[in-house]
A = this chain, B = another copy of it.
Amino acid sequence: MAKTVADISTTPAGSKAEQAYRAVKARIVEGTYTPGYRLVLGTIAKDLGFSVVPVREAIRRLEAEGLVTFERNVGATVAGIDPTEYLYTMQTLSIVEGAATALSAPLIDPAAIARARAVNEEMRECLDHFDPVRFTRLNQDFHSVLFEHCPNPHILDLVHRGWNRLASLRSSTFRFVPGRARDSVDEHENLLQLIETGADADTIEKAARRHRATTLDAYLAHTR
């Protein structure tokens, strides 16, 4: 008998570093840890019941993703809604989403188009019931359908990194520019039609870029 009963309870799924990463990230996205919140290694470790080493690794990963800032002997703080940082992130997302859409477009089959359109219609319903949280989630679903056959995983990774950075400003579309969301849904439909009709890559890329850039412009005009 080599294995003991304890093996049943052990959860070899993810390492504790991974669990800590997900846990802290979730708390940031959900808004439990608001921007400016100080993340103390010891405290988080005690809360999660882990040691500080895996928690430290989790924090460093979050730092690399831009969700927290880290300072030696001071600790980590949840990254704030710096307007400049927002601009950088949105501009970068505009570029990588544009590329991802253009690269994926030839590989999107009619069934996927139909699914994306269904998601978009759900988003339209969210407008009436004013459900910003669900709207944001569906927005990601929409683009996920478009990108599911993206031939370049690196670019897809960059898209996800951008989404992560925006995670702490959840449903920012609604919060900052109320009228923007409806335009967004229309732009989605426009994008789908371009893909359906087999528009050339450059046209699709520019449309996808503009989709994100317009949101940024609206934000800039709104806060100016």
A residues adjacent to B (C-beta < 8 A): 15, 53, 56-57, 60-61, 64, 72, 88-89, 91-92, 95-96, 99, 152-155, 158
Contact = CB atoms under 8 A, between A and B. Distances in A.
A91 B57 contact: no
A99 B92 CA distance: 9
A155 B91 contact: yes
Contact of A152 (B60, B72, B92): B92
Dominant secondary structure of chain A at its interface with chain B: helix
6 contacts: A56-B57, A60-B61, A61-B64, A88-B154, A91-B154, A95-B95
Contacts of A91: 152, 154-155
A64 B60 CA distance: 11
B155 A72 contact: no
Contact of A155 (B56, B64, B95): B95
A151 to B, nearest CB: 9
Contact of A154 (B53, B56, B89): B89
Nearest to A103: B91
Give the 6 A-B CB pairs with smallest separation, nearest first. A88-B154, A92-B154, A95-B99, A88-B152, A91-B152, A92-B155
A31 to B, nearest CB: 24
A7 B47 CA distance: 36
A153 to B, nearest CB: 6
